[in-house]
Amino acid sequence: MFGSELDLIDGILIILLTILLVSLVIKFSSKIGLLDIPNDRSSHVAPTPRGAGVAMFFSYMIVLILFHNSFVYEYIGFFLALFLIFVVGVYDDNKGVEPKIKFIAIIAATLLIFFINDFKIDTLGTWFGYEISLPWFFALIITIVAVVGFTNALNLLDGLDGLAGGVSLVIFLSFAYIGYVYEDNFIITVSLFMIFSLVGFLFFNWNPAAVFMGDSGSLVLGFVIAIVAIKSIVYVSVTSVLLLAALPIIDTLVVMTRRIQRNLSPFNPDKTHIHHKVLTWRGSVDHSVMILVVIQIFFSFLGLLFRERGDESIFFLFALLLYLFFKALDERRLLRDKLYITKMKKKVVCYIEDVLSEKMAIKILYGLIIFFLIAKIVFY
């Protein structure tokens, strides 16, 4: 299908398997310890099954192992890394995992794809006509930072029903297009089997969600997007990838900067994410999710449109969008503006009260009415 390992029947099988397996997760969630209990940052109020990422993972792995095992063997480093991330996510959904364990697991998974499949960021792109290539050690460091950063960014975005799944679907569609245009079997195959599993999952995850993907889903999604993005920079500008997956990146950068400004740990959980702000504004989960998905569609469109432009121009565009989001979500600025406007109103009122008497104000009002009546008659 579209130059990938998968055909239409594979896609239908993955969707149906996802639906079946998610149904089983929902049915047995309380028995296997996969229930999400609401807290002060949750958008749901009742205990909800989680761990649909388990169903998504097995749906595409069953199809790949049964019908496309040569593809699995060819990219064995990627699938070993994927399995490691999946196991950590499942354990976190069931028992809970410390953040440092997740970081270690993601780093270990990155080392697997770096040394086995040679997936790496070995260039910072072409700036003003000059390509910035990286020695292998710096390439390793940058690759680890990128994979760890984006995997956690997508995980943090998973805060509203259908949000992480919807945004990921848009991102994978963008990369599937890149895989198709540049005839890259890995990019398009991985993007498609993630798309099919997400379609099956979103049947159950749209508001009100019957199940959550859990870390077994969000960590895997973030990791896979990061790897597909790294593979894509062989064909497109490095900085265009920032636009193709912009929403999770911008959300994480803005939130962490705000926390640091308040002298808090950048990893301190709170309700300052983009989806929290939009939900407060709109008051509806469905509307909030659709707004954010449309924003990601816009970002991805820009990324595809400028994918072969110079990195300096794309980076400027991304930095501008980041700045706009940063200002738009600045609660302190809004409060300052409100206080400033209030002070200005008081000054104007006090000035009017000091300078104008009541009789003077009435005379000015009469004069203005007569002036505009005459103007109306003259120009009628």
pTM above 0.75, yes or no: yes
pLDDT in tens, 254-288: 888 777 777 766 666 666 677 767 777 766 788 88
Q: In this prediction, what percent of the chain has a pLDDT beyond 90?
A: 46
> CA-CA distance, 249 to 123, in Å (whole number)?
20
Of residues 325 and 210, more confidently modeled: 210
**Above 70 in pLDDT, residue 94?**
yes
Q: In this prediction, what percent of the chain has a pLDDT beyond 70?
A: 79
pLDDT of residue 192: 95
pLDDT in tens, 32-44: 777 777 665 555 5
- Residue 179 binned pLDDT confidence (cut-offs 50, 70, 90): very high
pLDDT of residue 309: 82
pLDDT in tens, 323-362: 887 776 665 554 555 555 455 655 655 665 565 555 666 6
* Dihedral, 361, 366, 369, 370 alpha carbons, nearest 10: -140
